[in-house]
Amino acid sequence: YNRLVAPAIEREIRNALTDRAEEHAIQVFARNLRALLLTPPVRGKVIMGIDPGYRTGCKVAVIDPTGKYLEGTTIYPHEPQRRWNEAKVVIEELIEKHNVDIVAIGNGTASRETEMLVAEVIAELEGEREVVYTIVSEAGASVYSASPVAKKEFPDLEASMRGNISIARRLLDPLSELVKIEPRSLGVGLYQHDVDQNRLAEALDRVVESAVNLVGVDLNTASSSLLKYVSGINSRVAENIVKYREEHGAFRSREELKKVKGLGEHAFVQSAGFLRIPEAENFFDSTAVHPESYEAAEKLLQVLGLTVDEVRRSGHLVRQRIEEKGESLEHLAEVCGVGRETLADIVDSLEKPNRDPRDEMPKPIFRSDVLKIEDLAPGMILKGTVRNVVDFGAFVDIGVKQDGLVHLSKMSKRYIKNPLDVVSVGDVVEVKVLKVDPERGRIALSMVLDD
């Protein structure tokens, strides 16, 4: 027994436990990644990205509301050069020149010092303009900056400037930007280097695919990095779609997709419902209605006595007419020749054609002044953004140099087994400061505010 049986049993139990632990670590990473990918975009703003650094300086880049790079430079406000006032002038000039709305600061080395610099500039800005800043995770930006995708996008820029543009774009449209980076490099995992890398990669790819398809993709602006995650489309076909767009101009209809090399009927059926064309001649091409359901959608509008133009202007009319007529979805589905669930999806898509599920998620916190760890005192109530979730709690960015820790036991009054049942990466939470240790840079927080 001791020589053969006991070691065999121990091996088996250890393997089973390792498998369970690995599966759990992968699940934590997957849930954190999904929350990160579904961070709401910040639309219609001019954004300045700053990638902080000491010796090599801070890279500054400005992008327009479409993500197009406008201008960039390098400033040296910190050690060893300490050209603080000069840096302030450069930032102020760029803000005025391009009408910058938001400054996105990377959360790496020298991040808090750069935050102080930006807060000073904002405080001294003249006129009515309201500029705010936010801290953005720069995990994976350096991986992107050296990648073939980045080199192809910005062949004339140096790697660090490409990484900085990525930081600014992560605020503008996180999903479109983060898909360019291998998910494992995004820094929201738990023991990610200790688990089976193939299993991890498979699980994370599934998460990215599910997030991309949930949100949907604008066929005329999406990069091949984003398109390849759409159901039914692989990397080669994604490249061909972009190539077709470059040669023939914007897609005018979903039907035109069939002209793309390598995209057959089967791939079209799988992908069409997730690809949108906002300015399409056929209104349904701009919605989540699948081409196979166009006939049913037309029939529905006919039964309700609505025109496409009326629905384009006021989507709520569809549900309003259904209620006025007192029709059940079951009966309407029968008339339109589809199942009840399909009809319910059609009604949702027509009611809110531009619905973005990310808009329901917590938005980033914007600030205009800065906090130091010395400013914190036990009992203070602050708002913060969840940066990472691990088994023992969550790390929350409350606007000082170090993220604070909300221990699992301080997340709720009731017993919680898993922090992910309460918070996700990107959530905005209200926390109370419990304890501050400036020497060691540790901050203990609680989400139970009335202790």
Residue 60 confidence (pLDDT)? 98
Please tell me the CATH superfamily of domain 47-172, with its number.
YqgF/RNase H-like domain (3.30.420.140)
Tell me the CATH class for 217-276. mainly alpha
Question: Tokens at residue 45, please?
Answer: 């703003």
pLDDT on residue 434: 96
pLDDT band at 190 (very low <50, low <70, confident <90, very high): low
User: How far is the C-alpha of 95 from the C-alpha of 133, rounded, in Å?
Assistant: 12
Sign of the CA dihedral running 305, 311, 316, 318: positive
Regarding the domain delimited by 373-446, which CATH topology (the fold level of the hierarchy) does it fall under? Answer: OB fold (Dihydrolipoamide Acetyltransferase, E2P) (2.40.50)
Q: What is the DSSP string of 327-338?
A: --HHHHHHHHTS
Q: With helix as H, strand as E and coil as C, how does 109-132 read?
A: CCHHHHHHHHHHHHHHCCCCCCCE
398-412 burial: b if 16+ Cβ within 10 Å, else e: bbbebbbbbebebbe
Beta strand ranges found along 76-214 (DSSP E): 102-106, 132-136
Give the pTM: 0.84
Looking only at the bridges linking them, the beta strands covering 381-390 and 47-51 are: unpaired
Nearest one of 131, 150, 154 to 140, comparing CA atoms = 150
Here the tokens at position 215 are 């949100």
Phi, psi of 182 (to 5 degrees): -60, 130
- The number of residues making up the chain comes to 451
Q: Which of 180, 170, 176, 168 is nearest to 63 (CA)?
A: 168
Residue 121 has pLDDT above 90, yes or no: yes
How large is the average pLDDT for residues 375-394?
92
Question: What residue ranges of the chain are covered by domains with CATH 2.40.50.140?
Answer: 373-446
- What pLDDT band is residue 127 in, cutting at 50, 70 and 90? confident
pLDDT of residue 2: 84
Interatomic CA distance for residues 349 and 352, integer angstroms: 5
* Alpha-carbon gap, residue 189 to 28, rounded angstroms: 7
Share of the chain above pLDDT 70, in %: 99
Residue ranges of the chain that CATH labels 3.30.420.140? 47-172
CB 262 within 8 A of CB 228: no
Is pLDDT at 128 greater than 80 in this prediction?
A: no
Integer Cα distance of 111 and 198 in angstroms: 34
Of all helices (H) and strands (E), which one includes residue 384? Answer: strand 381-390
Distance CA 155, CA 215 (A): 30
pLDDT given at position 399: 84
Average pLDDT over residues 192-214: 91
Instruction: Answer whether residue 370 shows pLDDT above 90.
Output: no
Q: How far apart are CA 285 and CA 278, in angstroms?
A: 7
**Residues of CATH 1.10.150.310 domain(s) within the chain?**
217-276
Whether the per-residue pLDDT at 310 is higher than 70: the answer is: yes
Kind plus residue range of the DSSP H or E element containing 389: strand 381-390
285-289 average pLDDT score:
94
pLDDT for the residue numbered 52? 95
Would you say residue 451 has pLDDT above 80? no
